[in-house]
Amino acid sequence: MNPSTSAGLLRARDGRKARVTEGELFFDLIYAFAITQLSHLLLHHPGPEGALQTLILWFAVWLGWQYTCWVTNWFDPDAMPVRLLLFAVMALGLLMAASLPEAFGARGLVFALSYVCIQVGRTVAVLLMLGRGHPLFANFRRMGCWLAISGVLWIAGGVAADELRLLLWLLAVACEYASPMAGFAMPGLGRSSSADWRSADGGHIAERCQLFVILALGESVLVTGGTLGSAGQWDIPVVIAVLVCFLGSVAMWWVYFDTSAEAASHALEHAREPGQMAASLHYVHVLLIAGIIVSAAADDLVIAEPGHHIGMASGTLLLAGPAIYLIGNALYKRGIYGNIPLSHLVGLGLLALLVPVAPLTDLLMVSGLTSAVMCVVAAWESVSRRRGRRAGVAGKTAA
């Protein structure tokens, strides 16, 4: 395809933030299903091996979404070839998400093939749409080489036995996650530079990440409601458990969206290297959303058996979810503001104090305490950011 044809498929760069289209939102629905599958997988396999398997699969799900997000940052999702590409990726994503519970069992090859077809097939389609004369062609060619290498590891893992599958898929995840950090360096093809990412729209990436967080939190709320709906008897502890879990979800929303979401969009839109900054913040979201997935699995446990005594696996889920979420948010805000909020460090300290307390009580009590910690963090940061904003406005007025 010649450059003039590919130009008609690319987003117009007119100084305004690229709009998130209905096609992109529709595309995300597959990943809502994948998040539910992963939280259920973790719920049924809460031990160290199940946690590691869920983590590997989550990285794959996230990478599939992340790479597609960058494609729609450059290409117009309303252009017919791009729209059809998104729908094709959705169809493969449906197979991938459906196979997640048995990815380390009988459906390992199905998962691997569908995932590799998403990553490699999408990149080949992009190269065909760009044509050799386009400045982005070399970047996507290097990307395609790395995805082909990781694809071999994914497929080899799909046909391998359990332990070898785990190792091969760990290597595949490392390959796909680390290669962008090295500029997709490839012998004979060079490596990408910051100039290759300058045409990216940072504001669009920020909004896409924010919408994915909403999607993940929404799935957490749906899991809470679904567990309540399937409960045989709605006694007082179950109703309290639902309210506590919902409060925790609200606090998670508050920590991320109250002030930092707008600040992130502003920072990316005015960054010297918006593409590089967007890529850095994009990476952090894999941790942040992992915290939501773990918390959703914990909420399921709490609502099903609120009075059940804490065990090692359940206690880990209850405390690890908020902790991972706070770590992800802390790194995210360091990228935006240049520092880690004290409220997040205090929140992590309070969660650490609950470690020796958790085995002495039940699921509902620990869930209530973790939700209280998240509420403290949300309120603290909300007040401090607003005071800082008012102080800044007053300083400008005085000047």
Q: How confident is the model at residue 390 (pLDDT cuts 50, 70, 90)?
A: low
Domains and CATH numbers, the chain: 3-9+20-197 (no CATH), 202-394 (1.20.1410)
pLDDT at position 399 over 50:
no
Q: Which residue has the higher pLDDT, 95 or 314?
A: 95
Tokens 């490596």, residue located: 191
Residue 337 has pLDDT above 90, yes or no: no
Mean pLDDT of the chain: 86
Least confident residue range of 164-168, 196-200, 302-306: 196-200
Range with lowest mean pLDDT among 71-75, 202-206, 238-242: 202-206
Flag the least confident range among 40-44, 50-54, 201-205, 206-210. 201-205
Write down the pLDDT at residue 101. 93
pTM of the model: 0.88
Question: Among 42-46, 99-103, 237-241, which range has the highest average pLDDT?
Answer: 99-103
Segment 90-115 shows an average pLDDT of: 94
Cβ(111)–Cβ(119) below 8 Å:
no
Q: What is the pLDDT of residues 83-100, one digit of tens each?
A: 999 999 999 999 999 999
Q: Which of 143-147, 187-191, 360-364 has the lowest mean pLDDT?
A: 187-191
Q: How far apart are CA 293 and CA 286, in angstroms?
A: 11
Which residues pair with residue 75 across a beta bridge?
A: 10
Task: Look at residue 4 in the predicted model and tell me its pLDDT.
Answer: 47
Task: Give me the mean pLDDT over the 329-356 stretch.
Answer: 92
